[in-house]
Structure 1
Amino acid sequence: MPSSSPVELTILMPCLNEAETIAVCVDKAQQYLASSGVSGEVVVADNGSTDGSQAIAKEHGARVVEIAKKGYGSALIGGITSARGEYVIMGDADDSYDFGSLGGFLQRLRAGDQLVMGNRFRGGIAPGAMPPLHKYLGNPVLSTIGRLLFRSPIKDFHCGLRGFDRASILGLHLQTTGMEFASEMVVKSTLSGLRVSEVPTTLKKDGRSRAPHLRSWRDGWRHLRFLLIFSPRWLFMIPGVVLMLIGLLGSALLMLGPIRLGGIGLDVSSQIYLVALAIVGYQGLLFAVLTKIYAQHEGFNIPRGRNFERLEKRVSLESLAVLGVVLFLVGFVIAIIQFSTWAASGFGALDPTATIRIAVPAVLLMILGAQSVMAGMFLGVLSVGLRRQ
């Protein structure tokens, strides 16, 4: 457990086999504390090093915290929990960041900011310090997606040097154990209304002779996956609504007869594909609603607009079941009418095109009805789980 000693700043370094660089990083951090007169400590959150990094860090005055659970996020969560400082500034232990120049971070923290991110694109990236794939594609694209989805002011989501108010960050209950921890911290800080800012910081080529732990495509995907999953509006709702409207409108128009768009003719075969779009779109819409309701029940801080708040009050097992039954019955009645017409003609040959033109919308309504009922049942399961708590 953290001590009650009056420590203002903890400089935290996650570490996994950084024997080549851990000493210089700890020394720079200690020199910053000494020269600035800040009451602080240097903590190394070791994630199972086998190269003697722990002993080197201790020899140079750092407090080493052993973190058994593997992963960048795990190491940092363990280090933050063990920190004694009111503020924490974290940075990689590979000598790519200058721990002797932390004044800008501490100044913003003392001014009341609760998360202060370094911005490498404003501060400068030394030649060879960042692979071109990361510099021109990975970081800019993922940061832009994060800014778009969560309206975050941060322009460098993945800078490894960042400072924060320890109590505020612990209050976010960060969960991810891998590299996506960097995105989770920014996203949850933004959604929770914390005061967030950036300061320019420099990135130089790290001092390691081995390959970095970061895996470009694997870890990039984990960041992107987290951003999308944490935004069901963009992952499910918007694509779902677009697909559903295209499918419903198109299939409804084709009920009236063939359509020509320039030199392209659309008929019942197109109607079948449009119905498939409507089904997939409706499923996406249901997923968006259920995901947000589940997130609310479990305490996840997922964005929720006013329209959704109103929708949630009207969505229940009963309302979805009623909607589903009505849709199913409408489709079933159309099917019965078609069957009766066929029976009245003596079950003779039918015009396939005319029959399919009406049968396809009937099938669509029955499928949407069944989906609605099952979604209502799932919502009921969520409610039962909530009452057991």
Structure 2
Amino acid sequence: MKTAILIPCYNESKTIKKVVCDFKKVMPHADIYVYDNNSTDGTDKIAEENGAIVRYEFKQGKGNVVRSMFRDIDADCYIMVDGDDTYPAESAVEFERLVLEKNADMVIGDRLSSTYFEENDRPFHNIGNKMVRWLINLFFKSELKDIMTGMRAFSYDFVKSFPIVSKEFEIETEMSVFALMNNFSIEEIPIDYRDRVEGSESKLNTYRDGYKVLRMIYTLVRDKRPFFFFTTASLILLFIAAVYFVPIYLRYRYYGYVLKIPTLIVVSTVVMVAAVTFFTGVVLHVIKKQNNAQLENHLTLIRLNKKINNSYFRFL
């Protein structure tokens, strides 16, 4: 059984040596991959000198890096961790066990139930993490404790079936929702979190990246729960139409004729748009169910191919 440690990096020269060495010590059997994302501080050289397999992704953004890692590497267990030395390598042993022995498809390192709020002195990051967690749990009917953690483990099935859309830091949110909506097995374990060492700077911009994450949540609700999204939009339109229609109707009952014909025309148009919106949700819901069925078939083929390959290598 092969385990791969995946470390996406952008200018992490202050910490990458310790991260690589810690994982080599804790998991000597694992292959450690450092994917350098246009670093200018020698991160790649430091990683290579300390025994990591260094590869490059020249399209900027964490989502682009993760896409390359998932496409390039074949393993039975994937453990992804940031290169900023904020996550303990010791936790990776339990992550690996849950994937290989308990058949978990995604293991989430839960910082928020542990030391995150004590270690992190950026209040808007704390608020943002709580808000994203609340929104995801609300819209996707889950009870996840940490949505945006940078330490996770994945099964082969998850990695090879996850169609990555995100280009930057929205990737963690997209991963969580994909697992929730496609019935993948999710485990969460609390992990200690420590703040960055002095001289190491976060690449996450609170406002810019926070906006991108919220936009991603909006997109995921629309795409992954189309019936809910478009039915809600339809009901809002019907409510607005009713607010303007009721006074017209009451005056019609009293006077015997319509006083505001232009308003009535607009109300009728809004009702028609609401009907079209509702049936759009119905159609997209059916398409989504078909896509889910195709994903199940895809997962079956992935497992079949994996068994065939394993049998072939045993024969050799």
Amino acid at match of 2:19: C
Q: Supply the distance in 2 between the matched residues of 1:48 and 1:249 (Cα, whole angstroms).
A: 55
Q: Deviations over 1:290-345 (max 9, x none)?
A: 3674686599969xxxxxxxxxxxxxxxxxxxxxxxxxxxxxxxxxxxxxxxxxxx
Amino acid at match of 2:111: R
User: After the TM superposition, which residues 225-374 of structure 1 pair with which residues of structure 2 at under 5 Å, given as runs?
Assistant: 225-232=215-222, 233=227, 235-248=229-242, 250-257=244-251, 272=263, 279=269, 283=273, 286-287=276-277, 289-290=279-280, 293=283
Q: Is the 8 A contact 2:115 2:193 kept in 1?
A: yes
Residue 52 of structure 1: CA displacement? Answer: 0.9
Does residue 14 of the first structure (1) align with residue 4 of the second (2)?
A: no
Q: 1:221 to 1:284 in 2, by over 3 A?
A: farther
- Specify which of 159, 179, 189 is matched with residue 149 of structure 2: 159
Matched with 1:385 is: none
Residue 45 of structure 1: CA displacement? Answer: 1.2
Q: 1:203 to 1:301 in 2, by over 3 A?
A: farther
Q: Deviations over 1:140-185 (max 9, x none)?
A: 1111111111123322110111111033232122221111111111
Matched residue SS, 1:102 = helix
Q: 1:278 to 1:73 in 2, by over 3 A?
A: farther
Does residue 178 of the first structure (1) align with residue 168 of the second (2)?
A: yes
- Specify which of 59, 64, 68 is matched with residue 54 of structure 2: 64
Q: Supply the distance in 2 between the matched residues of 1:203 and 1:220 (Cα, whole angstroms).
A: 21
Query: Can you give the 5+ residue segments of structure 2 that lack an aligned partner in the other structure?
Result: 293-316
Q: Is the 8 A contact 1:12 1:45 kept in 2?
A: yes
- Structure showing greater radius of gyration is 1
Matched with 1:119 is: 110
Q: 1:50 to 1:295 in 2, by over 3 A?
A: farther
Q: Is the 8 A contact 1:134 1:216 kept in 2?
A: yes
Q: Supply the distance in 1 between the matched residues of 2:121 and 2:206 (Cα, whole angstroms).
A: 11
Q: Supply the distance in 2 between the matched residues of 1:238 and 1:204 (Cα, whole angstroms).
A: 41
Matched with 2:95 is: 105
Matched with 2:311 is: none
Matched with 2:191 is: 201
Count how many residue pairs are aligned between Structure 1 and Structure 2: 284
Residue 189 of structure 1: CA displacement? Answer: 1.0
Q: Supply the distance in 2 between the matched residues of 1:275 and 1:22 (Cα, whole angstroms).
A: 65
Amino acid at match of 2:110: N
Residue 130 of structure 1: CA displacement? Answer: 5.0
Q: Supply the distance in 2 between the matched residues of 1:301 and 1:165 (Cα, whole angstroms).
A: 21
Q: Is the 8 A contact 1:245 1:278 kept in 2?
A: no
Amino acid at match of 1:17: N
Residue 256 of structure 1: CA displacement? Answer: 3.3
Matched with 1:91 is: 81
Residue 103 of structure 1: CA displacement? Answer: 2.4
Amino acid at match of 1:18: E
Query: Can you give the 5+ residue segments of structure 1 that lack an aligned partner in the other structure?
Result: 1-5, 260-266, 303-389
Q: Is the 8 A contact 2:105 2:157 kept in 1?
A: no
Residue 81 of structure 1: CA displacement? Answer: 2.2
Matched with 1:363 is: none
Q: Supply the distance in 1 between the matched residues of 2:38 and 2:8 (Cα, whole angstroms).
A: 11
Residue 279 of structure 1: CA displacement? Answer: 4.8
Q: 1:244 to 1:69 in 2, by over 3 A?
A: same
Q: Deviations over 1:73-105 (max 9, x none)?
A: 111121222234211111110111112332221
Q: Is the 8 A contact 2:9 2:82 kept in 1?
A: yes
Residue 235 of structure 1: CA displacement? Answer: 4.6
Q: Is the 8 A contact 2:241 2:270 kept in 1?
A: no
Q: Is the 8 A contact 2:230 2:280 kept in 1?
A: no
Identity in percent:
24
Residue 42 of structure 1: CA displacement? Answer: 0.7
Matched with 2:25 is: 31
Query: More relative contact order in 1 or in 2 (CA 8 Å, sep 6+)?
Result: 2
- Specify which of 118, 134, 137 is matched with residue 125 of structure 2: 134
Q: Supply the distance in 2 between the matched residues of 1:220 and 1:281 (Cα, whole angstroms).
A: 35
Q: Is the 8 A contact 2:229 2:281 kept in 1?
A: no
TM-score (structure 1 length as normaliser): 0.65
Residue 254 of structure 1: CA displacement? Answer: 2.0
Residue 234 of structure 1: CA displacement? Answer: 5.4
Does residue 75 of the first structure (1) align with residue 69 of the second (2)?
A: no
